[in-house]
Chain A
Amino acid sequence: MSEPLVFMMGKFEARIPVDRMYFESHFWAVPHGDALRVGFTAYAVRLLQDVYFLDWQIDPDTQVRKKQTIGEIESSKAVSTMYAPADGRVIQFNEALLNDPSLINADNYDKGWLYEFSTTQPLLSPDEYVKVLEAGWEQTQRLLKNQFNE
């Protein structure tokens, strides 16, 4: 397996493995059976830091629309609503996470997977995803700074 790509978030090296595809909203996707397994990228995990609460608002095996609210996540430094990354079907959630969301920090690219998802929407290649990170980094920093200043 070749080396992951690296995106610099300030001094932090966010690793972007080349063995998988990506969603623009900072999720990775690997084929799993007939569907995909989806999880947070290192970029997302770096912003969240220690995850301690994760809550899904839909049942497994539910059809969803892109940007539909499907859950909430809370960490030591951040909160976020979780949105469906594309039109598709959420098949099942990673049960292990519900008791111990810290798996997301410990192993976000493998054991910390979030849910299984089927979709026909196109995904981004690792290079394309890194371009998204580059394009959005300025704005992300602004977002973080502005919220800090409140």
Chain B
Amino acid sequence: MAGRKITVVISQAPGKNPVKRHLEEEIATRLMLSGTAEVSVVLHLYDLTADHTGMLWLKSLRGNLVVLGWLYPRAIRWVLDRNGVKGKEGESRLNRIEDADADDQEHPQEEVAASRGIGALDVPNRLIYAIDLRNDGDPEVYIKEIERLADLVSVPLVQLGFGGGLQLPVLPGNGPATNGTATAHGANGNGTPDHSHNGDTGSVISGIFSNGNSNGTNGHAETPSLPMTSPAVIGGGDVRRRWYPVIDYSRCTNCMECIDFCLFGVYGVDHSDRILVEEQDNCKKGCPACSRVCPVNAIIFPEHKTPGIAGAEGGPVEDFKIDLSKLFGAPSALEMAVLERDQELVADGRDAVGAAVGLPKRQTCQPEKTRDDLDDLMDGLDSLDL
């Protein structure tokens, strides 16, 4: 399987859930056994601080990455970006299970909206595939997908005949080689780079040629018969649970509503005047108020119980129960944001401010008109998750 290794990082679920831990270990072990991937394990991405060994490890990885975690893919991607782990968005088939039957027409709309954001900065030319481990409990599902991705994106490796058997090196211009050559296998339908393919495994020093750095915790023997244990967690130990907003720059328009709204100093701007989550740990635990104020839903709180706030894309996921909240007196998004913010202010010993401070002013100069049928229809649209 040489020539197809892809770098995979598994981000552990927080806590000690044995089912989740088992899934992580199964995936790691089997990937390593099959030689498909360079696997490493870090703690829960969202809880890592920028200077945690695990995060520094992630930053050091080069080339295409698959990151598996217990968060929505959008959340994974933007947490990574915030920590300087940047790349182009890789599309995985796993992440859109519920969209499998959706109209194709939905996607062009999403993309158009997305392109209005200020975008991430300094994105290197490599792909990051973010996969949510809550999609499925079967490790096989992830293994298959990673194998598919590995085929798609691996850098071609040159084989040298170390250790066992006589193999001719595959160099451009060599005649018909006994091991597969790029031309023999040809480009696959997607037009991705050809890769050399050798049926004889076990003869390549992967540490030199693979995409990422060796994880250093397990000696990589290529022979599948060696028993493997799951790699040790990089940076080990436990981390404190954290709570802070994550900006999705593909949606963010830099309108600055969030920095106006948050009275706890969480937001700031960088040297190019772009909005930034500056003091992450100033954020009040459990409070998602600013995410409700963002006009383009660019603020993610990955651990919030509402999927839309936690970074889910598209509509609500298979909820077969009707949500009656709107009937039972639910506040609008802005009303809720104001209540939540006041709650945190009061808890901090400060004064509640109500709607007076830092709220977007949306057409307040217009006189109020009486409601008509069109108003009812428009309000009814809110409950249609379009």
Contact = CB atoms under 8 A, between A and B. Distances in A.
List the 5 shortest-distance A-B pairs measured between CB atoms, nearest first. A25-B329, A67-B331, A80-B324, A83-B329, A78-B322
B323 A147 contact: yes
B383 A82 contact: no
Interface in B255-286: none
A11 interface: no
Contacts of B339: 65, 67-69
B104 interface: no
Interface residues of A, number: 34
Interface of B is mostly: loop
Interface of A is mostly: mixed
Interface in A128-150: 136, 138-140, 142-144, 146-148, 150
B321 interface: yes
B379 A139 contact: yes
Contact of B321 (A67, A74, A142): A74
A82 B328 contact: yes
A146 B383 contact: yes
A142 B331 CA distance: 19
Contacts of B328: 25-26, 44, 80-83
A54 to B, nearest CB: 13
B175 to A, nearest CB: 61
A73 B335 CA distance: 21
Contacts of A84: 329
Interface string B331-355: 1000110010011000000000000
B321 A79 contact: yes
Tell me which of B331, B342, B385 has the highest count of chain A C-beta atoms within 10 A of its own C-beta. Answer: B331
Given A48-B324, A83-B329, A83-B331, 8 more contacts: A65-B342, A67-B329, A67-B335, A80-B328, A81-B330, A138-B376, A139-B380, A143-B326
B356 interface: no
A46 B181 CA distance: 70
B383 A142 contact: yes
Given A65-B339, A150-B315, A150-B316, A143 B327 contact: yes
Given A79-B324, A80-B323, A24 B383 contact: no
Interface in A69-124: 69, 74-75, 77-85
Interface in B53-71: none
B103 to A, nearest CB: 13
B384 interface: yes
B329 A24 contact: yes
B244 to A, nearest CB: 21
Nearest to A148: B322
Contacts of A83: 325, 328-331
A8 interface: no
Nearest to A68: B339
25 contacts: A23-B329, A25-B328, A26-B327, A47-B327, A48-B324, A65-B342, A67-B331, A69-B336, A77-B322, A78-B324, A79-B319, A79-B321, A79-B324, A80-B325, A80-B327, A80-B328, A81-B325, A81-B330, A139-B379, A139-B380, A142-B380, A146-B384, A147-B322, A147-B323, A150-B316
Interface in B21-71: none
Contacts of B335: 67
A128 to B, nearest CB: 16
Nearest to B316: A150
Contacts of B326: 143
Given A65-B342, A68-B339, A147-B383, A25 B316 contact: no
Contacts of A136: 327
Nearest to A63: B346
A78 B323 contact: yes
A11 to B, nearest CB: 19
Contact of A144 (B315, B322, B342, B376): B322
